[in-house]
Structures are given as structure tokens and as C-alpha cells.
Amino acid sequence: MKPPYTQKPDRSWRKVLHEVIFEADTPAGKWFDVVLIISIILSVIVVMLDSIASIRRVHGNVLYSIEWFFTILFTIEYIFRLISVGKPIRYATSFFGIIDLLAILPTYLRLVFPGSHYLAVIRVLRVLRIFRVLKLVQYLAEAKLLMQALRASRRKITVFIFTVLTASISCKT
């Protein structure tokens, strides 16, 4: 059964976009999934390489540029997903909608909060997106449980993130 947010809109270009993004049965959908999986794997490798101080010292600028490339790519993909579904709010608040947003947010937060590079580890959540692409969602009954736990702990998570941001900004000044 398809998630309710994947209800197809009436407009034809949105329907085509929906089929490419959400339907892996079409050649374009398969191509999209392959490109997405490769992009996710490469972006996670970049995050891992960036976490090694000696590599970051030598190749930091290149890794930073590559990270921005992937962030922009995933941002465009996220926007296309929102555009192509019948109920964008429903998708945005779904498990994978939140994972998609959390996967791109840390890079943008670095612009606003210079010391927020500690949040970069959240980008590894991009790996969870492979479950959707490979249609492994059916095996992720725990995803619903995880979402409930995240919702129940959102105040604690907010306080933690606020504290980390405050501490990292205070250390920079």
C-alpha cells in the first residue's frame, strides 16, 4: 500500500514528476533511483572523510564544495518531492519527509551558526533514504516506533541542539 502523501496530483507535469520520483517501475524512475543511491553513498563517504582531521586539513575545501553540491542536489530533490505529491504537508511530516529535511538542514545551519559543524553527523541520516529507494520500507516497522520516540523526545532534542549550538557559538566568540 502506498503512503497517503503519494496521492497523485491532477496536473500532468506533476504526475510525470511523481512517477519519476516515487515509481521505480518506469525507466526514468529506475534511473532516478540509481542516481539517488549513488548520490547518497557518495555524500555519506564525503561526510566520513570530512570527519578525519588529517584528510580535512588537506582536502577540506574540496570536501566542503562537494558537500554543498550534494546538499543543493538533495534540496532540489526534496522540493520536487513536495511539489509532486498531493499533500505536501503530509509528506513533509512523514518519517521519510523528516529524514530528508534533517539530511540537508545541517549544511544550511553552518551558514547561520558557524560552530554548528557538530551537527554534521546528522547528515548520515541520508543512509536511511536508501531504505525508501530500495523499497525496504516494508521491513522498517520500527520506523514508526522511532518516529513516535522522536516526537515524544522533541523537547529534549530541541534543548540538546540549542545547547550544542549555544556552546559552539560561545566557543567561537
Q: What is the pLDDT of residues 37-66, one digit of tens each?
A: 899 889 888 888 888 889 999 999 999 899
Amino acid making up residue 156 = K
User: Distance between CA 10 and CA 119 in Å, rounded?
Assistant: 39
Q: Round to whole Å and give the CA distance between 80 and 6.
A: 12
Question: What pLDDT score was predicted for residue 119?
Answer: 64
Q: Which helix (H) or strand (E) holds 99?
A: helix 95-112
SS3 helix, strand, coil % of the chain, rounded to 5?
Answer: 85, 0, 15
Q: What is the pLDDT of residues 150-169, one digit of tens each?
A: 788 888 888 888 887 787 77
Is the pLDDT reported for residue 140 higher than 70? no
Q: How many domains does the chain contain in total?
A: 1
Which range of residues forms the domain containing residue 85? 4-172
Which pTM value belongs to this model? 0.67
Query: Which grid cell sits at 147?
Result: 518516529
Q: Could you give the 3-state DSSP secondary structure of residue 85?
A: coil
